[in-house]
Structure 1
Amino acid sequence: MNPRRSPTIRRRRLGAELRKYREAAGVTIDVVADRLGCSPSKVSRIETGHTSATPRDVKDMVDIYRVDGAVSDELVQIAREARQKGWWHPFSTVLTGAYVGMEAAARSVRAYEQQVIPGLLQTDMYADALIRGARLSDTDQQIEQRVRVRMARQALLIQDDPIDLWVVLDEAVVSRPVGGDDVMRDQLFRLAEMAALPNVTLQILPFAAGAHAGMDGTFAILDFPDAEDPDVVFVENATGGLFLEKVDELSKYNSIFDAIRSTALPPEESRNMIALLAEEPLWKSKPRVSGSI
């Protein structure tokens, strides 16, 4: 299977196509569910890409919509591809959403991060310290699996057909010593190294910028190679995250990212700042504030 056609993105494409043909045929979800002998929620989840559909289900659905010939064959083939296992399947117990599958199919990712180094740029020690600090109920085995899948994702940046990554980091991200001095220094050196790749653009949004367009939170905008797969915005939270796909939502986040990158330091200045921080960390130069009066 084409590496840009992950099962996740194929499932999303299939659902969108099935919904389009159902609506064109003037058929309701309830009618489809009754014909298939399943619940309306299953049909809805297939159309939103949250549930896989068997090739048999897809064939029955397109028959209901009176779609045949090459289109029917193509949709059944997409259903087969969508049921294949991605490389991340062995780690499914620690993955709470579809983001990794979406990322695997993306052509580019534009992200703004307020608190942590993005997973595609983390060292294993930084990732371990971060996960241990944020997921207090995880076992050592779960933490190890999370780190392993995070490291495996980074192949996207150096494979033969790498994704384009553009990241804007709030200065807070490079000012917090996750894992302690040595771990954070190594992480900053890794950032500088990755920022030198031709497909990676890294910018720092300094504290001096004051209020800015990204203060509502962290997000990533994923763009895909095929025009049939529209862009998607991922907004992360503690339970996984939300995928936003509406045209007005995409427009809003594209505008926010453009404003953030315009406010941030240029890439060369950002790389120089990261190199300087690796030698003279901010967390050592700034006085500590205790909780006592």
Structure 2
Amino acid sequence: MDEVNRISNVRQRELGRLLKQLRRAAGLHLSHIGELLGQSESKVCRVEYGTAQISAAEALLVAGYCRATARQIHEVRSFFTHPDLWVRRHTDGTAMVNSMAAAELEAQSLVCHAPWTVPELLQTDTYTSTLLTFTGHPDGVKGLSPLLAARKSRKKRMVDSFRGTMHFFIHEQTLTSTVGNHDVMRDQVAQLLNPDFGRRRCFIRIVEKRHGAAGLWEAGFTLLDYDKHPTVAHTTVPSGVVFDEDPDSLASLQLTASMLKQTALSVVDSHDWLTRALHTV
């Protein structure tokens, strides 16, 4: 395959899911796609499961054969841009959030570091709405509604289907700064004490101010470890969300995660901290 058509593992898996959806919606069998591409059914199956690669030309050929819409064809084409880093942009918020959920649902474990805000998967609806209204959207208020719906759907899918473990590191200043008003923050702290994911697989740890300002801990990130795939990280940047599988980048994030594990309060002490905070927010 040409270097320009090389795609990363996390992108490859999501592309496979999209091509499978298009094929099924068109009422086609694996053999139809195999005949189109001159490949075996087993190869097409591996492409759909993300364990075999497909070129941009082949993917677009499949999309056209499956009578994909113009928007769906654009979506297929987007998987082959910027091969080293995959960016899902804020301007297409629904696709961005869906990509995050697709990558997260397959993971065995999730480690999330949120230095500035409560992690999205732990936010109350009111906190999320208030935060997004404050930060704004390129399309204005009209653009916020589908993004809010996508975030809510992502959280529900994770609550219903994620079976791994989740580790969240939240900085003290995130919860001592006010988003909206005191009622919003009080409800948010109460949610952290009883997360929707359950305390048996959702571990929340507080990083106290005495260990340094949140900015010293770099930007926020989520590390995803898989049973059968390489580790993936996604990081929110001003333009959107970046999915990164570069070994050097991952090593740096894993080092930060290791330092956080040594520095943050234990799960029990963090729960006590949140209990006290509930009465002072």
Q: TM-score, normalised by structure 1?
A: 0.66
Q: CA deviation at 1:277?
A: 1.2
Q: Which runs of 5+ in 2 are unaligned?
A: 20-29, 51-58, 73-89
2: CA distance between counterparts of 1:160 and 1:48? 19
Moved over 4 A (4+): 45-48, 50-63, 68-71, 82-85, 211-214
Q: How far, CA to CA, are the matches of 1:266 and 1:259 in structure 2?
A: 13
Quick one: distance in 2 between partners of 1:47 and 1:59? Answer: 22
Segment of structure 1 superposing worse, 95-104 or 270-279: 95-104
SS in structure 2 of the partner of residue 162 of structure 1? coil
Aligned to 1:238: 238
Q: Which protein, 1 or 2, shows the higher relative CO under an 8 Å CA cutoff with sep ≥ 6?
A: 2
Is the CA contact (8 Å cut-off) linking 1:157 and 1:164 kept in structure 2? no
| Aligned residue among 223, 233, 236 for 2:225 | 223
Paired-residue identity, %: 19
Residues 1:76 and 1:270: Cα distance change in structure 2 (over 3 Å): closer
Read off the aligned partner of 1:75 and give its amino acid letter: R
Q: Secondary structure at the match of 2:176?
A: coil
Greater Cα radius of gyration, structure 1 or 2: 1
Q: How far does residue 213 in structure 1 lie from its aligned partner after superposition? A: 9.8
Residue 201 of structure 1: how far off its partner (Å): 0.4
Matching residue of 2:173:
172
**Counterpart position of 1:291:** none
Q: Distance in 1 between matches of 2:33 and 2:246?
A: 25
Deviation, 1:217, is 1.4
Check 1:243–1:95 CA distance in 2 against 1; reply closer, same or farther (3 A cut).
same
Q: Which runs of 5+ in 1 are unaligned?
A: 1-21, 23-28, 30-39, 282-293
Partner in structure 1 of residue 82 of structure 2: none
Residue 127 (structure 1) aligns with: 128
CA RMSD of aligned residues (A): 3.7
Distance 2:167 2:127 in 1: 20
- Separation in structure 1 between the aligned mates of residue 194 and residue 220 of structure 2, nearest angstrom: 23
Question: What residue number does 1:184 align with?
Answer: 185
Go from structure 1 to structure 2 and tell me whether the alpha carbon gap of 1:171 and 1:60 turns closer, same or farther (over 3 Å shift): farther
1:166-187 Cα deviation digits (max 9, x unpaired): 0001111111111111111001
Please give the alpha-carbon distance, in whole angstroms, between the structure 1 residues aligned to 2:109 and 2:213: 27
Contact 1:202 1:270 in 2 (8 A): yes
Residues in 1 aligned to 2:10 and 2:159: alpha-carbon distance in whole angstroms? 31
Q: Deviations over 1:185-239 (max 9, x none)?
A: 00110011118521100011000112689622111101224x1x21111121121
1:104 Cα deviation after fit: 2.9
Deviation at 1:121, TM superposition (A): 0.6
Q: Distance in 1 between matches of 2:162 and 2:11?
A: 26
| Partner amino acid, structure 2, of 1:280 | T
TM score, norm. by length of structure 2: 0.69
Which letter does structure 2 place at the counterpart of 1:72? K
Alignment of 1:62-211 (within 5 A): 71-78=42-49, 93-95=92-94, 97=96, 98-159=99-160, 161-194=162-195, 197-210=199-212
Matches of 1:266 and 1:61, distance apart in 2: 56
2:148 counterpart letter in structure 1: V
Aligned counterparts of 1:276 and 1:143: Cα–Cα separation in 2: 33
* TM-fit CA distance, 1:148: 2.0
Displacement of 1:116: 0.6
Distance 1:96 1:75, change over 3 A: closer
Aligned 8 A contact 1:112 1:214 in 2: no
Relative to structure 2, which stretch is displaced further, 53-62 or 237-246? Answer: 53-62
Q: Which residue of 2 aligns with 1:270?
A: 270
Query: What corresponds to 2:87 in structure 1?
Result: none
Please state whether the residue corresponding to 2:110 is helix, strand or coil: strand
**Whole-Å separation in 2 of the counterparts to 1:251 and 1:61:** 41
CA distances 1:95-118 after superposition (whole Å, capped 9, x unpaired): 363323212332321011111111
How many equivalent pairs are there?
231
1:49 counterpart residue number = 11
Question: Quick check: 2:31–2:40 contact (8 Å CA) kept in 1?
Answer: no
Question: Contact between 1:219 and 1:236, CA under 8 Å: does it hold in 2?
Answer: yes
- Distance, in Å, in 1 between the alignment partners of 2:134 and 2:41 is 52
**1:260 equivalent in structure 2:** 260
106-115 or 117-126, which moves further after superposition? Answer: 106-115
- Structure 1 residue 253, shift from structure 2 partner: 1.5
